[in-house]
Structure 1
Amino acid sequence: MSPKHRVVICDDHSIVREGIKQVLASNPGLEVVGEAAGGLEGLALIAKVKPDVVVTDITMPEMNGIDLTKELAKEFPEIRVVILSVHSRKTFILEALKAGARGYVLKDSAGEKLLDAVEAVLAGESYLDSPVAGHIVDEFVKMPSPVEPAGGGETLTDRERQILSLVVEGFSNKQIAEKLFLSPKTVDNHRAKIMSKLGRRDVIGLVKYALATGLVDPDTWGR
């Protein structure tokens, strides 16, 4: 039996922490190994138990979730962070991503999206809730972005463009595999080739490329 992935929850409301545990319990491969009501308490707990993933709110006493994420990025860069917050303003979202968060989910859709986000970041992906993705698009369309691939200049195949469009829409490798009737491993291989061809290292870079090349429509994507 494969070892379970370990999760720590940081939120100052006990009822929210309990709800998160119930959502994560639907995946038998996940184990909640600790919870904290504040950022400093969470940092001390994380240093002790060394989880694979941290699910954290932004607004917390002593240390907020963005500052906690920054500390984790410095001290434990291998730990993935998923932000679960009521804040949908792009300033919060961008700060969280800059701090090192790999996922961002709004609390009002947590029941549907949180488990997908945790599974995605464990698979080495990033995850943005759909309304969150819309705000990121709004920010990026204001910025110049190179249209040409930053890698070796190779063009994408039709299948790679199809997978790229699903990636930037926020689908995980597992979900893409189900939609296209492929194995998750095949999708993972395609995704690696896409990143290599385009010279992008993360989903944000893929979003910028997709917007610049017209692969996705900035007026409707993420809405």
Structure 2
Amino acid sequence: MAKTAVKSPPQTPPANPNPVAAPAKRRVLIVDDHPIFRNGISQLINHEADLHVCGEICSAAHALTAVDELKPDIVVLDISIQGTNGIELMKSIRALHPVLPALMVSMHEESIYAERALRAGARGYVMKAAPSEKVIEAIRRVLSGSLYLSDAIGGRLLDTFLNGRGSNVGSSPVEQLSDRELEVFRAVGEGRGTREIARSLFLSVKTVETHRAHIKDKLQLKTAPELVRAAVEWVNREANL
């Protein structure tokens, strides 16, 4: 009588003693006072396999605390935020966390603000109107240790470096203003008076008046009404870019 072959049970492959852990997602902190933008960019980032939004902050007052508590790998911030502006906040982040990379994502014209952002410590600047893939590309570029700028601004800064020319050559007179003067100029164009500007920027009225005087000199404006008119026109023009 033929013997029935006995089948051995299927062998379970041995467990990998050294499993390869999935790479950790890079943590992104968003600092922006526009809820719609914060929500949109957070969704965009969280759809990426290698990125994760670890926090959303709307004001400068909470941004530095969030950096300490959340330990992001990169900060993405706007120029316009509650309590100060992104340039001044960038300077504070840079002073306290000199190796933390940051990317400025803003609606404001890069020809005015990109170089200022880099001087303040940001590693890149991208317009909010840019395609979403450009924003993700910029984040990854900055995380890798590189700079990110549009071709136009990158070429301009390279030309400045190679030819040893000042960055204001052939540019708008507004670019001659210091970071604080530009902040005051924008506030004037938004219809804010001297005392309101002083309160919002934590400056004395006298300091704001001094900034206004310097702005008039640099822009060759003679009177306060001329300053207001020029500031309003500039703010409106930038809003329509």
Q: Same fold (TM over 0.5)?
A: yes
Question: What is the aligned partner in structure 2 of residue 125 from structure 1?
Answer: 146
Does residue 3 of the first structure (1) align with residue 24 of the second (2)?
A: yes
User: In structure 2, how many angstroms separate the alpha carbons of the residues matched to 1:35 and 1:121?
Assistant: 19
CA distance in 2, matches of 1:139, 1:88: 19
Structure 1 position 141, deviation (Å):
6.5
2:124 paired residue among 81, 103, 108:
103
Higher relative contact order (CA 8 A, sep 6+): 1
Question: How far apart, in 1, do the equivalents of 2:35 and 2:165 lie?
Answer: 43
**Whole-Å separation in 2 of the counterparts to 1:118 and 1:34:** 15
Q: Do the aligned residues in 1 keep the contact of 2:110 with 2:125 (CA within 8 Å)? A: no
1:50 maps to what in 2?
71
Aligned to 1:21: 42
The count of residues paired between Structure 1 and Structure 2 equals 145
Aligned AA (1:55): V
Secondary structure at the aligned position of 1:7 is classed as strand
Gapped runs of 5+ residues in structure 2? Answer: 1-21, 167-241
Alpha-carbon offset, residue 11 of structure 1: 0.6
**Contact 1:39–1:62 (CA<8 Å) still a contact in 2?**
yes
Could you say which residue in structure 2 is the equivalent of 1:171? none
Identity between Structure 1 and Structure 2 (%)? 37
The answer to whether the Cα contact below 8 Å between 1:23 and 1:114 also exists between their aligned partners in 2 is: no
Q: What is the letter of the counterpart of residue 83 of structure 2?
A: E
CA RMSD for the aligned pairs? 2.1
> For the residues of structure 1 that align with 2:129 and 2:163, how far apart are their CA atoms?
28
Q: Which moved more, 1:131-140 or 1:71-80?
A: 131-140
Is the 1:57–1:85 Cα contact (8 Å) retained in structure 2?
Answer: yes
- Partner residue, 1:112: 133
> How far, CA to CA, are the matches of 1:137 and 1:86 in structure 2?
23
Q: TM-score, normalised by structure 1?
A: 0.60
Aligned residue number for residue 84 of structure 1: 105
For the pair shown, which has the larger CA radius of gyration, 1 or 2?
2
Contact 1:52 1:78 in 2 (8 A): no
CA 1:135/1:57 → structure 2, altered by over 3 Å: closer, same or farther?
farther
Alignment of 1:56-71 (within 5 A): 56-71=77-92
Structure 1 gap segments, 5+ residues each: 146-223
Kindly tell me: are residues 60 and 123 of structure 1, through their superposed partners in 2, closer, same or farther at Cα, counting changes over 3 Å? same
**Does the Cα contact within 8 Å between 1:35 and 1:42 map onto a contact in 2?**
no
Q: Secondary structure at the match of 1:67?
A: helix
Please name the residue that 1:148 is paired with. none
Would you say the 8 A contact 1:90–1:132 is kept in 2? yes
Cα shift at 1:54: 0.4
